[in-house]
Amino acid sequence: MPLIAIAANNLWNIVNYRAGLLRALAVEGHELVVIAPKGPEVAAVEQLGAAFQSLPMEPRGTSPLADLRLLMRYRRLLKRLRPDVFLGFTAKPNIWGAAAARSLGIPVIANVSGLGAVFVRGGPLRLLVERLYRYALRRPAIVFFQNKDDRDLFVSRRIVGPDQAQLLPGSGVDLDHFELTPTPRDGARPFTFLFAGRLLWAKGIAEFVAAGEALRAKGLNVNPQILGLPEPASPTAVPMSTLESWQAKGAADYLGSTGDVRPAIAAADCVVLPSYYREGVPHILLEAAAMGRPAITTDTPGCRDAVDDGRTGLLCEPRSADSLASSMERMAALPPAKRSAMGKQARSKMEREFDQRIVHRRYIDALDQSFIGKT
């Protein structure tokens, strides 16, 4: 039975975004081992039919010495496990895990699910990260990208070859889990805009709050909501004190965090993600669309892939509270029947383009045709 090593920088990523893929690979007869720092999701990973191997790391650390130790940890573990294929998610596994796998002759499939803040800021750190990717993902690795912009950037910078780079429709969405759900019908309730995701400034949270305040100043009955877990370890995270301040002055309703985003989406009229983070394809936009909610997001790589402007939602300018406020006002002013039609078109787009089974098939084909089928 072929052994697939699946690596990420945390188990939450595996359980929330890759559970369907693990099930699909298990059905195909693959033995699975998940490699990540230990977390509360170990039992959930094992319930998916995968073994778990703990590998400590600092997901956003920049210490060269710590990264060298991480490379050695990956190499020792992979040398012991001897998987048939190394399947990487998130930056550190895609760089250091893939480099360790290559050194042992283990085939690599990497998923570049967005480029993050490093590629937005640019500078020497971006050049260093590009060189690391270029080293780790040399042929014969297959590299999946979630949007065309990221793929074209890696190819144009000669980080990967055009024969290596393949497109996926994001992480896909489970259309059975995220069902089409009617929007609440109550004309007296405020129009609810929901932001759900990582609480980072680059996700556009400040612009979201400012846009909501601008609409309220114009007398519109809107309710901006924020759902997500603060990340105190991240220097780019929104502090809890700021969330509490927004809550206290009525600028936004902070809902805390949850293991199930569906009730919050179901209670919302529109989902908003004004990100300039350099996303892959944001999962929250796929989940909202699958449930029949129109979305507002930025005209940036990854975000614009999930929304057809004017049909399934609206696009706005990144880093612009004014542009976002204009789009939010336009959305709130639409007749309910028009918004409902947008939501149904969003669901249809998910069924055509983003069904997670499309993603699973691509991985299975890559494994069978490129690697395991040749052993």
β-pair partners for 279? 114
CA 178 – CA 190 distance, rounded (Å): 24
The whole-number pLDDT of residue 121 equals 67
Domain covering 191-354, topology = Rossmann fold (3.40.50)
Where does the chain hold its CATH 3.40.50.2000 domain(s)?
3-171+356-374, 191-354
Q: Is 337 exposed, middle or buried (0-12, 13-18, 19+ CB in 10 A)?
A: exposed
State the pTM of this model: 0.91
Q: What is the pLDDT along the chain (375 residues), one digit of tens a residue?
A: 889 999 999 999 999 899 999 999 999 999 999 999 999 999 999 999 999 999 999 877 778 889 999 999 999 999 999 999 999 999 899 999 999 999 999 999 999 987 876 776 677 888 888 999 999 998 888 999 999 999 999 999 999 999 999 999 988 999 999 999 998 877 678 999 999 999 999 999 999 999 999 999 999 999 999 999 888 778 889 999 999 999 999 999 999 999 899 999 999 999 999 999 889 999 999 999 999 999 999 999 999 999 999 999 999 999 999 999 999 999 999 999 999 999 999 999 999 999 999 999 999 999 886 554 444
- Level-2 CATH architecture, domain 3-171+356-374: 3-Layer(aba) Sandwich (3.40)
Query: What residues does 254 pair with on adjacent strands?
Result: 226
- Alpha-carbon distance 332 to 334, whole Å? 6
Task: Please name which of 367, 326, 59 lies closest in space to residue 212, comparing C-alpha atoms.
Answer: 326
Query: Radius of gyration (Cα) for the chain, nearest Å?
Result: 21
User: Rounded to an integer, what distance in angstroms lies between the CA atom of residue 375 and that of residue 2?
Assistant: 10
Give strand pairing partners of 85: 4
- Tokens found for residue 193: 């805009």
Residue type, 45: V
